Structure formats: structure tokens, C-alpha cells
Amino acid sequence: MSKSLCFAVAILAASVVPALADDCGPAPVGPAIPAASDLAGKTVEAGRAIVIDAYHQVKAYQAALQPYRGCLASLSTADKAEIANLDPKKDKDKIDGIAQRITDRLKLNDQSVDAEQQVAVDFNTLHTAQCVNDTDPKICPKKP
């Protein structure tokens, strides 16, 4: 995924639910994984370095997603507890507002899952392309 596309996705996600940005901050932005075509003309060792670097970037991105998603879940849990303490007849508008925040957080969580899946697909495409020529079992283990 190109850096400009990652930036555009981040801007879009931030604009969808601006009120939540203050709660958990913006979603972590996924790394720009090189395309399989970027391996063309590279030595096996140079390609391996690209794949290893991309792997470390993916792992760092996934690690950054955990506290972000945890924050979203924690705030939604607190909101659900608040709803449980309200009177549905007297506090309908307040309950509706809180329920909307919960829905918005679920959307943000889903967007982060979709972004993570795309990063994984991009990395797997790169890794598969590298393994066409790479015989290092640490990078390209043989399938049983």
C-alpha cells in the first residue's frame, strides 16, 4: 500500500468520527508494504532484507493496534455501564447519544481490522514473491 494511500485512509478514518479522536487518538497507520514488483531485479539477499524489514513493520503496526482497540473497547464498556444506570424513559436522548458513540467505536474497530487485513495481504503477496527464488528456510519454510 502506498504511503499516500495510507495517509488518505487515515484522513478518512479521522473525519468519519472526529469526536472519538480525543478519546483514543487516531488509529495507527499501516506501513507501506513494497509491491512484489519492487523485488524485480534485486538479488535474493536484497529481496530478503526488504521482506524482513516489511515483516518488522507489520509486527510493529499490529502491536500499535492492540492498545488502540483496547481503548475503544474500554470506552464502549464504560458507556454500556452508563446506559445500564440510566432510565430509558427519562434519558432516552442521552442513551441514544451514548449508543451512537458505541456504534461509532465499533466502526472504528472494524476499519482498523480491515486495514490490518489489507496490510497482511500486501505482506503475504510480497513474501510469496520473494519465496519464488529464496531457499532460506527461515524466510521461506517448505510446506510439509
One DSSP character per residue, 124-136 reads: HHHHHHHTTT---
Cα(81)–Cα(54) distance, rounded to whole angstroms?
41
pLDDT confidence tier of residue 22, bands split at 50, 70 and 90? low
pLDDT confidence tier of residue 23, bands split at 50, 70 and 90? confident
Query: Which of 24, 37, 121 has the alpha carbon at shortest distance from 71?
Result: 24
Query: What predicted TM-score, i.e. pTM, was given to this entire model?
Result: 0.79
As a whole number, the mean pLDDT across the chain is 87
Each residue of 84-123: pLDDT tens digit? 999 999 999 999 999 999 999 999 999 999 999 999 999 9
Each residue of 37-74: pLDDT tens digit? 999 999 999 999 999 999 999 999 999 999 999 999 99
C-alpha cell at 54: 516489511
Q: With 0-12 CB in 10 A as exposed, 13-18 as middle and 19+ as buried, what is 33?
A: buried
Query: Which of 37, 61, 39 has the alpha carbon at shortest distance from 48?
Result: 39
Answer whether residue 134 shows pLDDT above 70: yes
